[in-house]
Amino acid sequence: MKIDILTLFPEMFAPLYESIIGRAQKAGKVEIKLHDIREYSLNKHKKCDDYPFGGGAGMVMMPQPVFDAINAVDPDHKAKRIYTSPRGKTLSQTMVKDLATRENLLILCGHYEGLDERIIELCIDEEVSIGDYVLTGGELPAMVMVDSVCRYVDGVIAKESLSEESFSEGLLEYPQYTRPQEFMGLKVPEVLTSGNHAEVDKWRKEKSLELTKKYRPDLLEK
Ligand code: ADE
């Protein structure tokens, strides 16, 4: 899978070179390319923002540098083009799985008060939000998307991890324990050390249901 990220702040993406996503990149499972929108500005000061028509607070990302960047990076519109925006559809595990089936993704990160609307009309396939709150820019949402999507790319993490995690069956994941068997007076549930796999499975299913009822009853209503 190839993911192109268009941003005014490429330095913000250092976390994608660490841990699991960093290893996946080194192993060639995913290719993540950062593109600095500023480099496409035809303005002699590399300006990329301007005042909003009609007045109001803040600045708006100018169309020219963004339009040229998108067309240079994805000239044949092979990629699914996403714009990170609080007004977009809220990212869900179902959307993540769907995005992971694509060969090419392009993520455009918004910044300032927003982006000239004409870019969305001309170039963007889908607007995606990561929740009902407003961030200073789309860089963190882009990283959230890349991280959640890359987990589904073959060879990035173990297949079993994907089938037994929260949301995979519409339920939250069961609790996990590791050594020692007793910590600060609290013991690991006996069934987990019994060696009886059927009983372990049964306990985990019950706990998944119990935790979902407690923390996310809305998931059971769906
Ligand atoms: N940009 C600012 N806030 C955002 C959000 N919640 N989701 C996606 N992009 C954003």
For 106-157, the pLDDT digits (tens) are 999 998 789 999 999 999 999 999 999 999 999 999 999 999 999 999 999 9
Give the Cβ contact number of residue 61 at 10 Å: 22
Secondary structure in 3-state letters for 62-128: CHHHHHHHHHHHCCCCCCEEEEEEEEEEECCHHHHHHHCCCCEEEEEECECCCECHHHHHHHCCEEE
Q: What percent of the chain has pLDDT over 70?
A: 100
Does 174 score more than 90 pLDDT?
yes
Ligand 1 lined by 84 (C-beta under 6 Å): yes
Q: Is beta strand 104-109 parallel, antiparallel or unpaired with respect to 2-7?
A: parallel
Please tell me the distance between residue 184's alpha carbon and the centre of ligand 1 in angstroms. 41
- Distance between CA 174 and CA 185 in Å, rounded? 21
- Helix, strand or coil, per DSSP, at residue 45: coil
Q: What is the pLDDT of residue 170?
A: 87
pLDDT of residue 57: 93
**Which atom of ligand 1 has the smallest separation from the CA of 133?**
6
Q: Which atom of ligand 1 is nearest to the CA of 110?
A: 1
- Domain limits, the chain: 2-158, 164-221
Give the pLDDT confidence score for residue 222 in this predicted structure.
Answer: 78
Give 5 or 161, the one with higher predicted confidence: 5
Residue 111 is predicted with a pLDDT of: 87
Q: Is the CB of 133 under 6 A from ligand 1?
A: yes
In this prediction, what percent of the chain has a pLDDT beyond 90?
Answer: 92
The answer to whether residue 164 scores a pLDDT higher than 80 is no
CB-neighbour burial class of residue 26 (10 A; exposed 0-12, middle 13-18, buried 19+) = exposed
Which amino acid, one-letter code, is at 45? H
Nearest to 106 by CA among 67, 160, 57, 50: 67
Q: Which token pair is 66? A: 């963004």
- pLDDT tens-place string over residues 176-216: 999 999 999 999 999 999 999 999 999 999 999 999 999 99
Given this model, what pLDDT does residue 125 score? 98
Which CATH entry fits the domain spanning 164-221: 1.10.1270.20, 1.20.1050.10, 1.10.1040.10, 3.20.20.140?
A: 1.10.1270.20
Q: Which of 5, 111, 130 to mutate to test the pocket of ligand 1 (most atoms within 8 A of CB)?
A: 130
> pLDDT band at residue 165, thresholds of 50, 70 and 90?
confident
CATH number of 2-158: 3.40.1280.10
> What are the pLDDT digits (tens) for 10-31?
999 999 999 999 999 999 999 9
Q: What is the mean pLDDT of residues 23-46?
A: 97
Whether residue 168 has pLDDT greater than 80: no
Q: How far is CA 27 from CA 46, 79, 126, 161, in A?
A: 35, 22, 29, 19
Mean pLDDT of the chain: 96
